[in-house]
Amino acid sequence: MPARINARRLSAWGAVVLLSAFWCVLAPPLIRAAWHDDFLCWYIGGKLAWSGDFHHMYDPAFQWSAQQSVLPEEPILSVFPRPPFFAAFVAPLAALPYRTAFLVWLAIQIALLGICMFWAWREFGDDALVWGALSGPAFFGIACGQDTSLLLALALAGYVLAERGQDRLAGAVWGLMLIKFNLVLALPLAMLATRRWRMLQGFSLTGCCLGVFSVLVLGPEGLRLYFQMLSSSALAKLNPTPRLMINLQSLAAHLGTQSVAFLAPATIVVLALGWLALRQAPLWRWLSVVLVVSLLVAPHVYAYNGALLLLPTWLVMFLSPFRWTKIAAAVYTLPPLFLLRLFGEYGAVITPLCLLGLLAAFVAESACGAGLRPANVKVCSGPGYNARPCLKP
């Protein structure tokens, strides 16, 4: 028996090493692009925040001047699109030379992903590392210079706190995810719909504090410039093709439309399906459904944002008692389907379709849970809605 266990452990760790090496082989072109694009955005925002010039943070002329002082060979403006509190968060990086700051940023994101993987390993065992290593978005997000590992770590921290019954603190931590507010629009709605009042209090408190900070440092003119920038369609790097997204906008673009007549009903349908999936949901399914719905209905969601779904993947694969939910999560996670995006825009449509399939599986699981429960499944004892399903020995 020990030899069998060791063989399985060696197989799991070997798969992790091979998969990690595979993603690293694909990473260099993305890292070179991040040097001229994604990280450059964060550095410019941090540079303006470090100088205390929040009022002009979203003025294209000031951003262009900051970019020229950092990377004069880049001919296209890399717009800083995040709220001012994110600029304040990354401001210390601006005290470092650009190359050093870039390496430090990559190291921070790698460390955060490593912490999340360590939690999954401690919670679920060696197989959790394999599922983590299968996640192309998690590795691509780091290579692209994005903050996907930070968002994943915040989602995980909130989950751990909520699982321990600290709902207000969990909501407050999830409120920090407003650094990319378009990805968490469904969180407060789900808290409201399922009457998780303490979570909503914590989330609202964090949101209010961040909002007050933004208003104070930007002022009326800074706020005007910020909303003007978000609504602009003339910024090439800020508004690439919607066909490459992983949300309903992507499906609409592949159908040849961006009409509100399609997007509005589709959004309502997804929100309704999410509400059905949340009925009597344990915490793990509640958070998984909310994150899937958020990515589907939010604007400006690209493949690397799918790193946020690594947490639902772990939760589904190890806590869901329903086979079809696990299959749907596995299909989304499979690297070949993710890599179809490399063959052009038409390969990108597979990701939102997979997310819709996963949402449908959550709805089916909720419906089955309201009726007969599989014979080999019981509910582990736990406080309130945080009870988990688990297999009988």
Q: Give the rounded distance of the alpha carbon of 167 from its chain centre.
A: 21
Cα 50 to Cα 89: distance, rounded to the nearest angstrom: 10
Cα 268 to Cα 141: distance, rounded to the nearest angstrom: 29
- Range 374-384 average pLDDT: 39
Distances (CA, A) of 239 to 115, 294, 302, 358: 32, 19, 11, 27
Q: Which residue, among 61, 67, 57, has the nearest Cα to 35 in the 3D structure?
A: 67
pLDDT at 238: 62
Cβ neighbours for 91, distance < 8 A, ≥ 6 positions apart: 46, 47, 49, 50
- Range 278-300 average pLDDT: 94
What are the structural domain ranges in the chain? Answer: 240-393
pLDDT at 155: 97
pLDDT at 158: 97
- The answer to whether the beta carbons of residues 55 and 218 sit under 8 Å apart is yes
For the cut 90, the answer to whether the pLDDT of residue 387 exceeds it is no
pLDDT at 299: 87
For the cut 80, the answer to whether the pLDDT of residue 1 exceeds it is no
- Tell me the pLDDT band of 381, cut-offs 50, 70 and 90: very low
pLDDT at 37: 85
For the cut 70, the answer to whether the pLDDT of residue 391 exceeds it is no
Q: Which residue, among 110, 115, 213, 104, has the nearest Cα to 155 in the 3D structure?
A: 115
Tell me which of 31-35, 195-199, 203-207 is least confident.
31-35
Cα 23 to Cα 143: distance, rounded to the nearest angstrom: 9
Q: Which two tokens stand for residue 238?
A: 């800020």
Q: Which residue, among 331, 338, 329, has the nearest Cα to 304 in the 3D structure?
A: 338
pLDDT at 374: 41
pLDDT at 344: 67
For the cut 90, the answer to whether the pLDDT of residue 254 exceeds it is no
Q: Which residue has the higher pLDDT, 232 or 320?
A: 320
pTM: 0.90
pLDDT at 53: 84
Q: To the nearest whole percent, how much of the chain has pLDDT over 70?
A: 89
Q: To the nearest whole percent, how much of the chain has pLDDT over 90?
A: 59
For the cut 70, the answer to whether the pLDDT of residue 88 exceeds it is yes
pLDDT at 10: 86
pLDDT in tens, 306-364: 999 999 999 999 999 999 999 999 999 988 888 877 666 777 788 899 999 999 999 99
Q: Which residue has the higher pLDDT, 2 or 22?
A: 22
- Tell me the pLDDT band of 2, cut-offs 50, 70 and 90: low
For the cut 60, the answer to whether the pLDDT of residue 393 exceeds it is no
Cβ burial of 255 (10 Å; 0-12, 13-18, 19+) is exposed
pLDDT in tens, 110-137: 999 999 999 999 999 999 999 999 999 9
